[in-house]
Amino acid sequence: MSFPSFVRVQKRDRIGNPVFDANGRPVEGLAINPIKPHVRSYWLADPNQTLVVLPASAGANQVGAVRELNFLIDSQGHFDWTSIVGLSTGAFMLEFFDPGSQRRLQNRPINSDCIVGSAQRQFRLPEPYFFNIGDAQRQLKCYLRDLSGAENTVRLNLIGRRIYHKEAPPDVALDLEKTFGFGSRTYSYFLVPNETKSDGTVTAVTGNGTSSFTFESDASADTEVQKLMVSSTGAFTFTLRERATNRLLMPNAVHKDNGFGYAEFPFIFPDTYLLERQKQVIMDVTDLSGSSNFIYPVMAGRRLQLIP
Amino acid sequence: MADQRRLPYADPANWARARNTPGARRDFTTHDYIPGQGIPTWIKDPKTGLIVVNELKRYVKPFWLTTEDSEVITLQPGEVTDFIPMTVDGKGHFEIFDAFFKSQREEGFTVELFDPGNVGRDRPVLMNREVHVATIASGGGTISPTFNFDAQGSPGRPFRWPQSFFMNVVSGTGTLMARFRNLNTTQTNQIRFVLVGRRWYHLQAPWPIANRMEEIFEEQTRTLPYFFTTDQHVEIEGDGSLAPIMRFGDDAYVEWCKGMAVSTGAFQVRIVETSTQKRLMESPVHSDLAFGSGEFPMLNWEESLFEPNYQLTFELDDLSGDDNVVWLTLGCRKIKVDPKELELIRPGTSPGRP
C-alpha cells in the first residue's frame, strides 16, 4: 500500500501543544504527509548493462548459455520491488536470487512470457519484495537463458519504490525505519511444476495426448497462490486437483484460455488459494492442438517467512 | 417528498420495502459518499439499520461533455484552433473522470485545456503546455508486447485522470476551454474529444441533499488533476541525445501518478531530479518500460510527491536511428499548499505511516 499524500493530524498551537475543542475532542486538520517527499518511484537496472544479449539456444524450447544481470541497489535508501517489465527479441528463461537473504524466488527457472510485462501492463508481484539497505548496498541476481533458438536481446527492469530514509529529517527517518524495520514479512514466490527440468525446459505433451504436472509447496513455507500464467505452443484443457484430498477445483476440464493468463494479463483467483507446505496440486492436461505442445505453467504467490 | 430530517440517507416511504428485502442486512456501508469511488446505491441507514436506496444517488448521473456546436471538428493541416468551449448546462456540477478521443489521422492532435470560470480562483489550467491527446485520453488503440489493441475497444480502456476535476456551475461558468492542434501537416484531420464523468444535479435535489453535494465539492478545493509535459517541444536527432526539463512550478505540491508517452520511434530515458541529482533509474530504461499510453498508462505503484518548484531532467537517447518526436506527459495531481500546514505538522512526529 502506498503512502497517502494527505494525512489528518491534530492541530497544535504555536509552542507545539496539541489543541482540543471545548468538548475535549482533538481539533484536526489536513496536512501533506511529510514522509511522502522521501519516497520515489524507481526503476532498478543493472548499472553496468542496459541490455544483455543471450547466445542462441540449439532450438526453440531449448535453453542456451546462461547470462547474468546484477541489479544493484545503492545505499541511498531501501527498495521495495513491486513489478517486472522487460523487452526481448524472443522468449527466455529467468531466475531470481537474492544473495543478501540467500533466497531463491522460484523453484525452477520461469518462462519470460509468464512474468515479464511492460510499462503499459506491468507484471505486479503478488507481494512487494523488500530490500533493506542498512548501511550497505544490496543485490538481486538474475540468470537468463535464451529459449527461442536465436540470439536474444533482453532489456529487463524491476520497478518499485525507493525509500530515502537517510536524507529525511530525524523524526521522519525514525518513522520510516519503524514502519519497514527489517522487512521481515511475506515475499513473492513463483511455483512451476516439479516435472520442469532444472534448466527450466519441459517435456512436450504429445499431440492430443495427456500429461500431469505437480505443483508442490515445499517444506520451508506455505504458499498463497494469487495468479496463474502459462506459455504454451498450443491449446490445451486442464483440471486442477489437490493430491491430499483428491478434491477437484473444477468439475470438468477447462480450456487454458479460461484459466490461465500471461504476464500482461494474468488470471487472478477470486480468492487466494493456500497451498500448505508439502501439499501438492496436480494439473492434468490434455492437448488440443494435435501437435507436440510445450507447456510452461506458473503459479505466482507469496510465502510467509517465519521468524523463529 | 422525502423526510428532510433523515436525508440524505433514506426516504421513509421506502422503509417498508427495505424491511422486506431478504438478506440485505450486511456488507453495506453507512457512508453516502466515499471519495474516489462510485456513489453507493444501497446503504445502511445508521438509525434503523435498514438497507435503503441512497438518496444522493438519485441525483447523480453519468455525463459526456463534448465540444460545443459540434462534436466533430475538422482541422486543417497543421491548424491550431481558437479556444473552443465545452459547456455543461446550469443544472448541476460536473465531475470529470475520463477522457476519450478519435482522430482521423494517425499522427493525432494536441490538446490544451483551461477552466475560464476559475481564473482568478487559482484553478485555471490543466496542463503546462500542449500535450499529445493520446497521453491524456483513450481512443487510439495501443500495441502491447503481446497484443494489438484496436481503437474500436478503446472505451473499454478509459484513461482515468489522476484526480477527478470538479466543474462548479454556480460559482464558475461550467465551461472548459479546449484548444487543438493538428499534428498532420499535409492533410485535414477530423477529430473528436469527449470528457466523461458524473453530474451532480444539486439544483434539482431537495435542499439537504444539495447542501451535502456542496459540502462534498468543497472538500476537493485543494486538489486538481494536472498534466505536465516537457517545457520545450522535444525532437531528438537520429541516434542523438537530448535532456529536456519539466518544471513543476511553485504554486503547489505535485503528486506524479501516471506516466505516458507518444513518440515516432523508440528511445531510452533516465529521469534525474535536477536539484538533488537523484536518479529514478540507475541506467537508462527503454521507453516501453518507463511510459505507457492513454489506454494503458504506466502506473506508479507509489505516487511520487514533489515539493513546489521541483524540476526533473529527462535524459533521452534515440534508439530508432531517425529523427524522433517525443511527447512525454506525467499524469499528476496538484495539491495546494495550506499556509497553516507548518503549524499543523511541526514540531512533532511524522504522522504519515500507511
**pLDDT tens, B78-102?**
999 999 999 998 888 899 999 999 9
Strands B42-44 and B51-53: antiparallel
Q: What is the mean pLDDT of residues A40-68?
A: 94
Q: Do B282 and A85 touch (CB under 8 A)?
A: no
pLDDT higher than 70, residue B16: no
When mean pLDDT is compared across A64-68, A114-118, A292-296, B212-216, the lowest value belongs to: B212-216
Cβ contacts of B153 on chain A, cutoff 8 Å: none
Residues contacting A276, CB < 8 A, separation 6+: A217, A222
Band the pLDDT of A124: cuts 50, 70, 90: very high
What integer pLDDT is reported at residue B354 of this predicted model?
40
DSSP A18: B
pLDDT higher than 80, residue A243: yes
Q: Do B289 and A161 touch (CB under 8 A)?
A: no
Band the pLDDT of A116: cuts 50, 70, 90: very high
> For a pLDDT cut of 90, what percent of chain B falls above it?
50
What integer pLDDT is reported at residue A134 of this predicted model?
76
**A192, A113 contact by CB (below 8 A):** no
B324-334 tens-digit pLDDT: 999 999 999 98
pLDDT higher than 90, residue A1: no
Q: Do A85 and B289 touch (CB under 8 A)?
A: yes
Of B256, B288, B353, the CB nearest to A175: B353
> For a pLDDT cut of 70, what percent of chain A falls above it?
97
State the ipTM, two decimals.
0.86
Q: How far apart are CA B263 and CA B69, in angstroms?
A: 32
DSSP A60: T
Instruction: Identify the H or E element spanning B214.
Output: helix B207-218
Instruction: Identify the H or E element spanning A170.
Output: helix A170-180
What integer pLDDT is reported at residue A135 of this predicted model?
67
Strands B159-167 and B42-44: unpaired
Band the pLDDT of B238: cuts 50, 70, 90: very high
**A275, A203 contact by CB (below 8 A):** no
pLDDT higher than 90, residue A6: no
pLDDT higher than 60, residue B188: yes
Q: What is the mean pLDDT of residues A271-277?
A: 91
Q: Single out the residue of A267, A207, A266, A268 nearest to residue A233, CA to CA.
A: A207
Residues contacting B280, CB < 8 A, separation 6+: A40, A41, A42, A43, B270, B271, B272, B273
B337: cell is: 499548499
What integer pLDDT is reported at residue B67 of this predicted model?
94
Q: Single out the residue of B91, B94, B37 nearest to residue B65, CA to CA.
A: B94
CA angle A217, A255, A284 (to 5 degrees): 40
Of B144, B222, B285, the CB nearest to A43: B285
What integer pLDDT is reported at residue A267 of this predicted model?
95
How far does the CA of residue B69 sit from the closest CA of chain A (Å)? 35
Residue A94 CB: number of other CB atoms within 10 A? 25
A82-108 tens-digit pLDDT: 999 999 999 999 999 999 888 899 999
Q: What is the mean pLDDT of residues B224-242?
A: 95
| Closest chain A residue to B142, measured at CA | A120
pLDDT higher than 50, residue A47: yes
Supply the pTM of this predicted model: 0.87
Query: How distant, in Å, are the alpha carbons of A47, A278, B18, B52, B75 from that of A157?
Result: 11, 33, 54, 49, 41
Q: How far apart are CA B116 and CA B291, in angstroms?
A: 31
Cβ contacts of A16 on chain B, cutoff 8 Å: 347-348
Q: What is the mean pLDDT of residues B66-83?
A: 93
Three-state DSSP at B172 gives coil
**A225, A269 contact by CB (below 8 A):** yes
A165-210 tens-digit pLDDT: 888 888 888 887 777 765 556 789 999 999 999 999 999 999 999 9
Q: Single out the residue of A265, A55, A69, A256 nearest to residue A147, CA to CA.
A: A55
**A71, A140 contact by CB (below 8 A):** yes
**pLDDT higher for B337 or A106?**
A106
Q: How far apart are CA B104 and CA B29, in angstroms?
A: 45
Band the pLDDT of B135: cuts 50, 70, 90: very high
B302: cell is: 507509489
Band the pLDDT of B1: cuts 50, 70, 90: very low
Q: What is the mean pLDDT of residues B66-76?
A: 92
How far does the CA of residue B144 sit from the closest CA of chain A (Å)? 7
B345: cell is: 505538522
Q: What is the mean pLDDT of residues A34-43?
A: 89
Cβ contacts of B259 on chain A, cutoff 8 Å: 119
Average pLDDT, chain B: 85
Residue in the structure block whose three cell numbers are 518500460: B289
Instruction: Identify the H or E element spanning B132.
Output: strand B131-132
| Cα torsion through B217, B220, B221, B222, rounded to 10 | 170
Q: Single out the residue of B333, B307, B341 nearest to residue A7, CA to CA.
A: B341
| Closest chain B residue to A84, measured at CA | B289
B291: cell is: 511510459
Band the pLDDT of B3: cuts 50, 70, 90: very low
Query: How distant, in Å, are the alpha carbons of A166, A174, B344 from that of A177?
Result: 10, 5, 23
Q: Is the dihedral of CA B57, B60, B61, B62 positive or negative?
A: negative
Q: What is the mean pLDDT of residues B338-349?
A: 52
Q: Single out the residue of B245, B35, B174, B282 nearest to residue A45, CA to CA.
A: B282
Q: Is B337 exposed, middle or buried (0-12, 13-18, 19+ CB in 10 A)?
A: middle
B242-295 tens-digit pLDDT: 999 999 988 888 999 999 999 999 999 999 999 888 899 989 999 999 999 999
Q: How far apart are CA B220 and CA A89, in angstroms?
A: 47
pLDDT higher than 70, residue A162: yes
Q: How far apart are CA B157 and CA B306, in angstroms?
A: 28
Band the pLDDT of B154: cuts 50, 70, 90: confident
DSSP B337: P
Of B144, B338, B341, the CB nearest to A120: B144
What integer pLDDT is reported at residue B339 of this predicted model?
63
How far does the CA of residue B278 sit from the closest CA of chain A (Å)? 9
What integer pLDDT is reported at residue A184 of this predicted model?
54
| Closest chain B residue to A33, measured at CA | B352
B287: cell is: 521507453
Strands B311-318 and B245-247: antiparallel
For B231-290, give the DSSP string: SS-EEEPTT-EE--EEE--SSEEEEEEEEEEEESS-EEEEEEETTT--BSBSS-EEHHHH
How far does the CA of residue B255 sit from the closest CA of chain A (Å)? 8
B26-57 tens-digit pLDDT: 567 778 888 777 888 888 777 777 778 888 88
Band the pLDDT of B347: cuts 50, 70, 90: very low
Cβ contacts of A35 on chain B, cutoff 8 Å: 350, 352-353
